[in-house]
Amino acid sequence: MTTTPVLPLWIARLSGDQPTMGRQHGELAGQAEGTERMLGYYRQMPERMLVGAGRSAGARVGRAVVGAAKELMLARLHAARPAELRARSEAFMAAAGTDPRQARYVGVMDVFQSVVGLAGRYVVGPFARRASALATAAAAPACSTIMAWGEATADGEVRHARNFDFPGVGVWDAAPALILCAPDRGLRYGFVASRGADVPAVTVFNEAGISITSHTRFHREVALGGAAVIDLVHELGRRATSLDEARAIAAERPSATSWGLAVSSARERRAVCLELHAGAVRVVEPAAGAAWVSCANRYRDARMQDGEIASSAAWALHTDARERRLRALMAEAIAGGGASSEALMAMLADRVDAAAPGVVRHLGGILASACTVHSVVVEPATRSLLLGVGAAPASEGPFVRVGWSWDGPVGAWELGAPGGEAALAAAGLTVADVAIPAITRGAAGRWAAEAVRIEQTTRDADATSRALEQAITAAPADPSLRLGAVWIALRRGDAARAVAHARVGLNHESLPYRRGQLLLWGARAALAARDEATAAAWWRELDALGDGDVAELIARSRADRREPARWRRRKPDANLFMHDAA
């Protein structure tokens, strides 16, 4: 396994106006190991995600085309940023020792989601054409948040738990960081990030007890001249003291693209989800009488669903399954007297689909994604958080509890450094290791994360296959790994191995749609292996699954029956992150 070793938790405290804090953060980060890796990743991420790192002439041309389009879109988004926040990003880059023009890369995820939105607007079906399939692959969703209070927590206080699932395995998770900001105007706020990322947009919390976590959404309503998510969450962090204020701040300026923001208020003991695209902001309230609310990657407001983009039923099931599992886990927690922070972290590490409770999974619509690069539970009442500080999946630990004072000197501290405990105490910081017996860090999860890391960087099919085979050795009964292995074996031209994985997967898979995927792709592998009898048998079984979400798979299989020979040469366009292929 080649995943980069994880550096110790790094904590920085900043103070002043926004450009000053950017400069301070850049100076401190520039002296810390791991910063350049993050800066380099963001520069290369669009091309690597959309085209890969291949050396062929086609790959080189593709990277050049994607790079040119990326630069145009990022420049437009950067120019539209508020002057002081743009200056903060530029000051950070300059002080970190890189070109301040690199500041435009903080808008990469806004651009990705806008690309998907534009593809959905102008192309029929995001998987209908190669360009749209690649755009969807670049910004696949998987983040999960659960906000709980009252009867849903052990002490009644608000807890805000989230998994950040991001195409940066081996980079973002390799250098966890916590940044505390004391601006000269507004509230003091903090954010969880990675060394080299001055990006208060993932998990943010402020001294008024407001916590915010952001989630990818896909919608046709995008406008790159609008507000970038980093700026929107900056404003929420330094200004919002209530949920109503958070909603008003989100509505001040149209969003550049599509987002879901989970916002909790410790003072109000309540939480909501703010759903945004370039044309509107809507509030999704908890269910009547509920003391918790979840947030993932689909719009829940009916008005926002008009224009939402879904590449396939697998995309929708990916987020629906996670929210369904959170509902089941929260019901258990409430029946048991409410969840502690450790219990919420255990939910984030869960690998079960509620519709198939006896099966442990490592890919697909589960809470513990192979791309979980940070997992955190924020406790505003105690001014502390529980943080996963291991390699992806970060929800499997190890864990630390960090406490902070909003007052303290500007500086940076690395966990485990000589004299570290005394230095942390002098800075108003506490860090303690936390054991969570309910969570086990397993080899299958690590190898699945390695497979996804390879897929998102070099796209080396042989290396991806080796990682998946290691994961399968550790978890042979996991049908999600078998489905991924079918796709990668076909990409490598090993049809016999793909058929073998499909057979085993079908022995363990009970979810109708996932079973349908195994039957569809198993039949395609059988065609490539010139085993028409097996293909025909699997087609018959797929037909028998009926309508609903499986209907799209049946339709694709019927097209295969009309032209079976094409699967003797075609390679699947697979996405392990979203657990789908075309």
Average pLDDT over residues 480-492: 97
Rounded CA-CA distance 364/478 in Å is 11
Q: What is the pLDDT of residues 16-43, one digit of tens each?
A: 999 999 999 999 999 999 888 887 776 6
- pLDDT (0 to 100) of residue 418: 84
- pLDDT (0 to 100) of residue 451: 96
pLDDT band, residue 242 (cuts 50/70/90): very high
Pairing of the two strands 189-194 and 176-183: antiparallel
Q: What DSSP designation does 290 have?
A: -
Is the pLDDT reported for residue 517 higher than 90?
Answer: yes
Is the pLDDT reported for residue 61 higher than 90?
Answer: no
State the number of CA atoms in the 13 A half-sphere of 520 facing the CB: 24
In terms of Cα–Cα distance, which of 547, 504, 542 is closest to 523?
542
In terms of Cα–Cα distance, which of 229, 555, 211 is closest to 382?
211
Q: How far from 247 is each of 19, 284, 294, 297, CA to CA, in Å?
A: 26, 11, 17, 19
DSSP character string of 394-442: GGG--EEEEEE-S---SEEEETT-TTHHHHHHHTTEEEEEE--TT----
Rounded CA-CA distance 522/490 in Å is 10
Rounded CA-CA distance 497/493 in Å is 9
Q: What is the pTM of this model?
A: 0.94
Rounded CA-CA distance 138/581 in Å is 14
Q: How far from 361 is each of 48, 194, 290, 346, 478, CA to CA, in Å?
A: 27, 27, 29, 15, 6
Average pLDDT over residues 463-472: 98
- pLDDT (0 to 100) of residue 71: 78
Average predicted confidence (pLDDT) for the chain: 91
Rounded CA-CA distance 75/209 in Å is 34
Rounded CA-CA distance 533/119 in Å is 39
Q: Domain coordinates of the chain in residue numbers? A: 11-138, 144-434, 443-581
Q: What is the pLDDT of residues 420-450, one digit of tens each?
A: 788 999 999 999 999 999 999 999 999 999 9
Is the pLDDT reported for residue 123 higher than 80?
Answer: no
Please state the separation of Cα 84 from the chain's center in Å: 28
Q: Which CATH class is domain 443-581?
A: mainly alpha
Range 188-195 contact pairs with CB under 8 angstroms and sequence separation of 24 or more: 188/406, 189/237, 189/238, 190/404, 191/237, 192/164, 192/374, 192/376, 192/385, 192/387, 194/34, 194/38, 194/168, 194/373, 194/374, 195/7, 195/10, 195/29, 195/32, 195/33, 195/34, 195/35, 195/38
Q: How far from 151 is each of 305, 324, 336, CA to CA, in Å?
A: 31, 20, 10
Average pLDDT over residues 253-282: 96
151's tokens: 């009867």
Average pLDDT over residues 181-189: 97
- Do the beta carbons of residue 108 and residue 543 sit within 8 Å? no
Q: What is the pLDDT of residues 534-548, one digit of tens each?
A: 999 999 999 999 888
Phi-psi region of 222 (alpha: psi -120 to 50; beta: other; left: phi over 0): beta
CATH entry, 144-434, from 3.60.60.10, 3.90.470.20, 3.40.309.10, 3.40.190.10: 3.60.60.10
pLDDT band, residue 127 (cuts 50/70/90): very low
Q: What is the pLDDT of residues 302-352, one digit of tens each?
A: 999 999 987 678 888 999 999 999 999 999 999 999 999 999 999 999 999
Percent pLDDT > 90 in the chain is 76
Rounded CA-CA distance 392/448 in Å is 9
482's tokens: 């078998």
Is the pLDDT reported for residue 67 higher than 70?
Answer: no
pLDDT band, residue 124 (cuts 50/70/90): very low
Note the maximum CA span of the chain.
73
- pLDDT (0 to 100) of residue 109: 81
Percent pLDDT > 70 in the chain is 90
Average pLDDT over residues 484-503: 97
Is the pLDDT reported for residue 133 higher than 60?
Answer: no
- pLDDT (0 to 100) of residue 36: 83
- pLDDT (0 to 100) of residue 37: 83
Rounded CA-CA distance 219/240 in Å is 26
- pLDDT (0 to 100) of residue 130: 47
- pLDDT (0 to 100) of residue 66: 61
